Structure 1
Amino acid sequence: MRLLRQVLESFRFAWQALRSNLLRTTLSLLGVTVGIFAIIAVFTLVDSLERNIRGSLNFLGSNVIYVQKWPFEFSGEYRWWKYFQWPEPTYKDYRALAERLENARAVAAMSGRDGITVKRANSSISARILGVTYEYNQTSEVAVEQGRYFTPQEQEGARNVVIIGYEIGETLFPGQDPIGQTVKIGGLNFVVIGVQEKRGTGLVEFSRIPPDRRCIIPYGTYAKLFQSFNPSITIVVKGYEQDEGLQDLEGEIRGLMRSRRSLKPAQDDNFAINRPEAIVKAIGGIFAVLSLAGWVIGSFSILVGGFGIANIMFVSVKERTNIIGIQKSLGAKNYFILFQFLFEAVLLSLVGGLVGIFLVYLLSFVQLGSLDIQLSIGNIMLGLGVSSIIGVISGILPAFTAARMDPVIAIRAK
């Protein structure tokens, strides 16, 4: 109890010292403020970017593998002239994988086309039409806000049903319920059975058409309308959670595809096995560089701020030498004097850190297009932690110097 009382007394002395020298305090914490602002601002922007990009990629699904013609490559030379000669995956490839894959949870086929006009009465909108098999909602995210997903019977019968995007519903059916209504796609009437949730525009998109202007129709219907001359598809394979890294699934897909295309052991694959994680991993490298840049920039400012705090603390010790002598002569212990000055340094640094964090919080109200900036609790704690460490490092030597003063010599000081 006595120790706690002495600690609180040390804190009170530190607070009074800071208040009595407000201008000096303000100038001292500027370096820490700028440093913490630089670090936490970069970390907050990086976290917000990563969250936005991951949200943009949610529709690709998790634990999935895409079998396509063109591979995802983010390093080295992209050998497009080689990939150009590869054959496109076909619906027969999809059927073969769906029937023979043992490590797959679900297998779906999809294909899309941009710039297709969707009409209703005198209103129209340019959209992306996505033709998918029934299993698509098991491999990728299809968030239906109103209505339903299509049934196996609608898929097998190639019915003219459509799940429209949020913006299409707002444009063609303002103030109305679109479910059960009819729209025209490619000259044919389609019955609206569902409306997708509003997604907005993400930082990463694979089409020039925004997500809210996309329509999903059964693959059989799509093939009749748009695939007379180019029946290429993307095969989406969902794996099981227990298949770590989807290694078993990838090996099985590679074996079946090589067998279907009669590739000899010495021949390279003529198809691509792509993973959405490759995109996140490539972008993660950029995030790591940005985070490092934040630390470097912030460290210089914090270093300057730390020296400023240490300098002010030495001045403070010099100014209060006589008071230190009186305190010691009245029985104050060395740790009481040490805590008094150490708390002053930590408090000074914490105030600077809090101001820097507050500036980052104000930054979160700035509109940067589709980027939603959010200051996380983790980054707040990081800022406070770094501030506290800088305060301890900057104040330990001046506090130790004050604690070791001889009371007789200190009282005589002028």
Structure 2
Amino acid sequence: MMFLRLIGESFGFAFRALRENRTRTFLSLLGVTIGILIIIGVFSAVDTLRANLESSVEKLGSKTLYVQKWPWGGGEDYPWWKYVNRPDPDIRDFAALRTRMTTAEAISFNIDIGNRMAQYGNNNVSGITVSAASHDLFDIRKLEIVQGRYFTESESNRGSNVAIIGATIAEGLFPGGTDPIGKSIKVLGRKVNVIGVFKKEGEGMIFDVSMDNAVLIPLNFGRNVINIRRADSYIMVSALPHVSLDETESELRGMMRSIHRLSPQEEDDFSLNKTTIITAQLDAMFKVINLAGGFIGIFSILVGGFGIANIMFVSVKERTHIIGIQKSLGAKNYFILSQFLIEAIALCIIGGLAGLSIVYLLAFLVKLMFGLAIVVNIGMVILTIVLSTLIGLIAGIIPAAMAARLDPVEAIRSK
């Protein structure tokens, strides 16, 4: 009980000192607040960027393989000359894979052609992507339709002139809340009936995989209106739930080599792309970003810590005679030590909470104004509190130890 009473009195002394020196307290808090704000802000920005990038990757499917002419990648060392003469995946490849694959849950053939225009009456939307896909695309991409429906099996097989449009196109062609279902729009010089509208997804940060600005038509209809030689064609293969992606990839590679009649000595004339390629690149990139963010945070914290230490030395100097009186009345060294340590820790914790509050306020304003959700990791919040306590402890230990070792007679004379 005596120990708890002494600790309570130490808190009282510390907070009275903070209240009596408001300007100095504010300046001390400012250094710590800015330091914590920078470190939390940097890592929140990195986490937000990572979350948005991973969201774009997830749209591609974690258990989906893409048979394409070009491998995913890029950069200055990208050997484009090795792939430029490869054939594009075609309908024969798709038909053969559907017949032979045993580890695939669904297989879809897709054709994309960009920078087109959709028109309805006097309204038009330019820069859209027209996509023609086989019926299984819905099972692979897990597309969400907020109005209308997806193609029926018979519509896909017959190649009916029907379409599902993205949310951005629906807003542009049918302003004022007009129901687009059942309306005929003009795409690629042909009229198509709108049977559905995709849920608004927002733009991706890696690949343009959003359906907001796309018109999806059945493959058998698209083959008649799209020049495949000028379009991007690819095959999507999703693995069965109980089968690993590596197993499906191994079978798919063997099937494609067999279909293209490649000898064992010949290299693949196709690419099998998957999201793990992107996630590996993201992991490597974020290791560098986190390292840079860590250095920025460390320097910010050091600046705040030096500021606290400086203020604590001044505080000890100003209160030397009070320390002498306390010691002459029987105050123990640990009582004096605890006063200054608690004051330093309190400064850092208050500064840390202030910095954290500013981060949450900025996150709220960004979401309110721009619709971007800022990710504030709870682990970073806990780390902030721990760091604030450690900074106060380290910054205050030397001034507090100096105060505790003062001779009471000399301390009283200092007045």
2:398 alignment partner in structure 1: 397
Q: How far does residue 228 in structure 1 lie from its aligned partner after superposition?
A: 5.8
| Bigger shift: residues 29-38 or 161-170 | 29-38
Taking the aligned partners of 2:32 and 2:285, their CA distance within structure 1 comes to 26
Q: Once superposed, which parts of structure 1, at least 4 consecutive aligned residues long, lie more than 6 Å away?
A: 367-370
Q: Given residue 80 of structure 1, which amino acid in structure 2 is its aligned partner?
A: W
Find the residue that maps to 1:60 and give its secondary structure. coil
Taking the aligned partners of 1:17 and 1:111, their CA distance within structure 2 comes to 72
- 1:200-222 per-residue CA deviation (whole Å, 9 max, x = no partner) reads 33333438xx7422111111111
Find the residue that maps to 2:59 and give its secondary structure. helix
1:386 alignment partner in structure 2: 387
State TM-score, norm by structure 2.
0.88
| Bigger shift: residues 332-341 or 7-16 | 332-341
| Bigger shift: residues 92-101 or 137-146 | 92-101
Taking the aligned partners of 1:232 and 1:43, their CA distance within structure 2 comes to 38
* Shift in CA distance, 267/348, structure 1 to aligned 2, threshold 3 Å: same
The aligned runs of 1:51-70 (5 Å cut-off) are: 51-70=51-70
1:298 alignment partner in structure 2: 297
| Bigger shift: residues 135-144 or 318-327 | 318-327
2:193 aligned to 191, 198, 201, which one?
A: 191
Find the residue that maps to 2:7 and give its secondary structure. helix
Q: Percent identity?
A: 46
8 Å CA contact retained: 1:91, 1:233: no
| Bigger shift: residues 368-377 or 217-226 | 368-377
2:150 alignment partner in structure 1: 149
* Shift in CA distance, 145/2, structure 1 to aligned 2, threshold 3 Å: farther
8 Å CA contact retained: 1:165, 1:214: yes
| Bigger shift: residues 91-100 or 188-197 | 91-100
Unaligned runs of 5+ in 2: none
8 Å CA contact retained: 1:148, 1:194: yes
Taking the aligned partners of 2:8 and 2:107, their CA distance within structure 1 comes to 66
Taking the aligned partners of 1:119 and 1:283, their CA distance within structure 2 comes to 39
Q: How far does residue 243 in structure 1 lie from its aligned partner after superposition?
A: 4.8
Taking the aligned partners of 1:274 and 1:155, their CA distance within structure 2 comes to 26
Q: Given residue 188 of structure 1, which amino acid in structure 2 is its aligned partner?
A: R
State TM-score, norm by structure 1.
0.88
Q: How far does residue 411 in structure 1 lie from its aligned partner after superposition?
A: 5.0
Q: How far does residue 138 in structure 1 lie from its aligned partner after superposition?
A: 1.9
Instruction: Please report the RMSD computed on the Cα atoms of aligned residues, expressed in angstroms.
Output: 2.8
Q: How far does residue 410 in structure 1 lie from its aligned partner after superposition?
A: 4.8
8 Å CA contact retained: 1:59, 1:142: no
Q: Given residue 157 of structure 2, which amino acid in structure 1 is its aligned partner?
A: E
1:77 alignment partner in structure 2: 77
Taking the aligned partners of 2:288 and 2:370, their CA distance within structure 1 comes to 23
Find the residue that maps to 2:212 and give its secondary structure. helix
Q: How far does residue 21 in structure 1 lie from its aligned partner after superposition?
A: 1.7
* Shift in CA distance, 74/393, structure 1 to aligned 2, threshold 3 Å: farther
Unaligned runs of 5+ in 1: none
* Shift in CA distance, 167/346, structure 1 to aligned 2, threshold 3 Å: same
Q: How far does residue 324 in structure 1 lie from its aligned partner after superposition?
A: 3.2
Q: Given residue 197 of structure 1, which amino acid in structure 2 is its aligned partner?
A: K
8 Å CA contact retained: 1:106, 1:238: yes
| Bigger shift: residues 198-207 or 5-14 | 198-207
Q: Given residue 206 of structure 2, which amino acid in structure 1 is its aligned partner?
A: V
Tell me if 1:360 matches 2:370. Answer: no
* Shift in CA distance, 409/105, structure 1 to aligned 2, threshold 3 Å: farther
Taking the aligned partners of 1:405 and 1:101, their CA distance within structure 2 comes to 84
Taking the aligned partners of 2:26 and 2:258, their CA distance within structure 1 comes to 73
| Bigger shift: residues 97-106 or 123-132 | 97-106
Taking the aligned partners of 2:233 and 2:119, their CA distance within structure 1 comes to 26
Q: Given residue 277 of structure 1, which amino acid in structure 2 is its aligned partner?
A: T
* Shift in CA distance, 98/396, structure 1 to aligned 2, threshold 3 Å: farther
Q: Given residue 202 of structure 1, which amino acid in structure 2 is its aligned partner?
A: G
* Shift in CA distance, 241/18, structure 1 to aligned 2, threshold 3 Å: farther
* Shift in CA distance, 404/87, structure 1 to aligned 2, threshold 3 Å: same
* Shift in CA distance, 50/200, structure 1 to aligned 2, threshold 3 Å: same
* Shift in CA distance, 401/206, structure 1 to aligned 2, threshold 3 Å: same
1:340 alignment partner in structure 2: 339
1:103 alignment partner in structure 2: 103
Q: How far does residue 15 in structure 1 lie from its aligned partner after superposition?
A: 1.2
Taking the aligned partners of 1:389 and 1:45, their CA distance within structure 2 comes to 24
2:137 alignment partner in structure 1: 136
Q: How far does residue 16 in structure 1 lie from its aligned partner after superposition?
A: 1.1
Find the residue that maps to 1:217 and give its secondary structure. strand
Taking the aligned partners of 1:228 and 1:76, their CA distance within structure 2 comes to 29
Q: How far does residue 334 in structure 1 lie from its aligned partner after superposition?
A: 4.1
Taking the aligned partners of 2:249 and 2:389, their CA distance within structure 1 comes to 49
Find the residue that maps to 1:55 and give its secondary structure. helix
* Shift in CA distance, 270/5, structure 1 to aligned 2, threshold 3 Å: farther
Taking the aligned partners of 1:43 and 1:391, their CA distance within structure 2 comes to 22
* Shift in CA distance, 120/16, structure 1 to aligned 2, threshold 3 Å: same
| Bigger shift: residues 227-236 or 389-398 | 227-236
The aligned runs of 1:228-247 (5 Å cut-off) are: 229=229, 233-240=233-240, 243=243, 246-247=245-246
1:204 alignment partner in structure 2: 206
